[in-house]
Amino acid sequence: MPPIITAFERSPDGGKGLARDTRVRWALEEVGQPYEVRLVSFQAMKQSAHLALHPFGQIPTFEDGDLGLFETGSIVLYIAERHAGLLPDDANARARAISWMFAAVNTVEPPILELVTARILEGDKPWSKERLPLVMDRIRDRLRQLSSRLGDADWLDGQFSAGDLMMVSVLLRLRASGILDEYPNLSAYVARGEARPAYQRAFAAQLAVNTR
Amino acid sequence: MPPIITAFERSPDGGKGLARDTRVRWALEEVGQPYEVRLVSFQAMKQSAHLALHPFGQIPTFEDGDLGLFETGSIVLYIAERHAGLLPDDANARARAISWMFAAVNTVEPPILELVTARILEGDKPWSKERLPLVMDRIRDRLRQLSSRLGDADWLDGQFSAGDLMMVSVLLRLRASGILDEYPNLSAYVARGEARPAYQRAFAAQLAVNTR
């Protein structure tokens, strides 16, 4: 039996690939593992059956036999540790790739999530216009450091890894803001991620759900 | 040679244990591994020698022979995977503990980091007073879900794990705000973490640096 992931019945982004199931689909496509998808509605996500699987009532989840996992980062790591293609063989290089996975979700994504909050939850507040540049500048602080580290390399540390998969996925959230274009090497890095056949398949699969 | 971690020469919190080196010290104490500490100044953190180790110019880092790691979550995972005491033996339970590590840094910590930003970087802004309750409510959303999952258990999933170590560390950031007291089981959970001898040793070690 292939593993089962959950995804939005209707993604809030309408199929732009920013919902986190895309990250898990991408990982599964990179390692060539088939999977099944169970779609969940916003109502169902907050009910006990789903909360038993995901305590924070979100998607994606990952069920593989007796095992139920939540949190995209840990699902991607689980897949990467069990199939070739997302982590280097060398133990040290492997540990460094996992550092980049955590950097994506704990250092780069938090200021980006602040931008999402500022726009979606506080877009109608009186402070919104004056505050937005501060939020953008905090994102730029991180992008400048990331851009400097990446330099003219294709990927963050040698071959493409789960660290790149997570970092590209996090940066993709910025595309609409235009900030990414201020860092041409990061913009090219994200484009390289998107050009991967595995990403293309993952993107098409989530788009198909959202344009039924 | 024991591994070497980096920590602030002077922590911005003056020794309250909220700097992230405490999380790594705690993990090393739980598994009984000795370590050395290299203190870095704010200036040194932004210079090339440190940036080579930590692309975002932060602490902690972790050096073990040829290996250099950054990002607290990945350092704790590296330690947990190589020494008994922080991850269950059963493969499924192990994967679930890692889910909690990611949940701590990617689901629970981001709204808490927003509170830190709101207070420290935007405390003098005209919108600060009106906005703070919104930020607090977004934290409460997460705490309510976490509290509901924890119930009357001691730890998040069976025995104490690296997932609890990370979650308790993230929740500790809220102590001064008083929000934690609204969820008595979470408050008791954090107190259980702090009462562990390994945490006590880690806390004392960072305090000694900051009260020299």
Q: Which sequence spans correspond to the domains of chain B?
A: 4-85+198-210, 91-196
Give the per-residue pLDDT at A11.
95
From CA A207, how far away is CA A22, in angstroms rounded? Answer: 10
Average pLDDT of span B16-36: 97
- Which member of B69, B109, B125 has the closest CB to residue A99? B69
SS3 at position A191: helix
SS3 at position A189: helix
Tens of pLDDT, residues A86-142: 999 999 999 999 999 999 999 999 999 999 999 999 999 999 999 999 999 999 999
Average pLDDT of span A72-80: 98
Average pLDDT of span B7-17: 94
Is pLDDT above 90 for A212? no
Task: Please state, for a pLDDT cut of 90, what percent of chain A lies above it.
Answer: 99
Average pLDDT of span A198-204: 98
- Residue contacts between A and B (CB atoms, under 8 Å): 131
Q: Are B13 and B185 in contact (CB under 8 A)?
A: no
- Residues of B in Cβ contact (< 8 Å) with A101: 74
Average pLDDT of span A202-209: 97
CA distances from A10 to A7, A14, A26, A46, B139 (A): 8, 7, 19, 15, 26
Tell me, what DSSP letter sits at residue B125?
S
Angle between helices B72-82 and B162-172 (to 10 degrees): 150
For the whole model, what pTM was predicted? Answer: 0.97
How far does A3 lie from chain B, in Å, by closest CA? 14
How far does A206 lie from chain B, in Å, by closest CA? 22
Tens of pLDDT, residues A9-54: 999 999 999 999 999 999 999 999 999 999 999 999 999 999 999 9
Does the beta-carbon distance from A145 to B107 stay under 8 Å?
no
Of the pLDDT bands very low, low, confident and very high (cuts 50, 70, 90), residue B85 is very high
Does the beta-carbon distance from B131 to A130 stay under 8 Å?
no
Length of chain B: 212
Whether the ipTM is more than 0.85: the answer is: yes
CATH architecture label of A91-196: Up-down Bundle (1.20)
From CA A81, how far away is CA A88, in angstroms rounded? Answer: 10
Tell me, what DSSP letter sits at residue A180?
G
* DSSP E strands, chain B: 4-8, 36-40, 61-64, 67-70
From CA B150, how far away is CA B124, in angstroms rounded? Answer: 37
From CA B60, how far away is CA B37, in angstroms rounded? Answer: 10
Of the pLDDT bands very low, low, confident and very high (cuts 50, 70, 90), residue B113 is very high
How far does B95 lie from chain A, in Å, by closest CA? 7
Give the per-residue pLDDT at B63.
98
Mean pLDDT of chain B: 97
From CA A183, how far away is CA B169, in angstroms rounded? Answer: 34
Give the per-residue pLDDT at B212.
85
Tell me, what DSSP letter sits at residue B182?
G
Average pLDDT of span B181-194: 98
Is pLDDT above 90 for A57? yes
Does the beta-carbon distance from B107 to A56 stay under 8 Å?
yes
Does the beta-carbon distance from A99 to B57 stay under 8 Å?
no
Does the beta-carbon distance from A98 to B74 stay under 8 Å?
yes
Task: Check if CATH label 3.40.640.10 holds for domain B4-85+198-210.
Answer: no
From CA B68, how far away is CA B62, in angstroms rounded? Answer: 6
Place of tokens 């009532």: A57
- Which member of B56, B102, B131 has the closest CB to residue A105? B102
Q: Are B5 and B38 in contact (CB under 8 A)?
A: yes
CA distances from A111 to A105, A174, B24, B130 (A): 10, 11, 23, 21
Mean pLDDT of chain A: 97
Tens of pLDDT, residues A170-187: 999 999 999 999 999 999
From CA A194, how far away is CA A192, in angstroms rounded? Answer: 5
Q: Do domains B4-85+198-210 and B91-196 have the same CATH topology?
A: no
